[in-house]
Amino acid sequence: MTLLQQVYSNQTKGYTIICGDFNARCGSNTDYIEGVDDIKPRTTIDTTENYNGDLFCEFLSDTNFAMLNGRIGINDFTYISPQGRSVVDYICVPYEQLESVLDFKIMRMSDVINTLNYNPEAYLTTRFYLVILNTQ
């Protein structure tokens, strides 16, 4: 079953969140249809676009999902290396669930480790994403 089929078959079953490393550089591409969908635009810190980003934004628009990155909370890069930095990891929710998201923050693994006082040596480059939903 494709991701598109899974999204369509699960849309009525409660909260749906799509997240992961899509290797998609979306730049200023929109994840909604301008003039049709009433969605708050997102701010872009990574202006580079690639083919995966084009496909990903088209997929989100087709399924009525929106990225939280650049739209809610503090905008930050999701990949940082000596060669550069980019946004390629995303968390996306259906348009109608956007108002339920209270905050969104990208945290470096080192910050999570310091907060939890935990020391997993092998995972120092992993990032955590926290989505806080208002369920009331």
Answer for the pair 19, 92: CB distance below 8 angstroms, yes or no.
yes
CA distance 30 to 20: 18
Question: How high is the pLDDT of residue 24?
Answer: 97
Reduce the DSSP state of residue 120 to 3 states and report it: coil
Query: Which of 53, 49, 19, 17 has its CA nearest to residue 127?
Result: 19
CA distance 91 to 30: 15
The two structure tokens encoding residue 30: 């929109």
- State how beta strands 127-133 and 101-108 pair: antiparallel
Q: What is the pLDDT of residues 33-75, one digit of tens each?
A: 999 999 999 999 999 999 999 999 999 999 999 999 999 998 9
Q: What residue ranges do the domains of the chain occupy?
A: 3-98
* pLDDT higher than threshold 90 for residue 11: no
Question: How high is the pLDDT of residue 58?
Answer: 96
Reduce the DSSP state of residue 102 to 3 states and report it: strand
Name residue 104's amino acid: F
Least confident of 20-24, 58-62, 84-88, 113-117: 113-117
Handedness of CA 107, 109, 113, 118 (dihedral sign): positive
Work out the mean pLDDT of the chain and round it to a whole number. Answer: 86
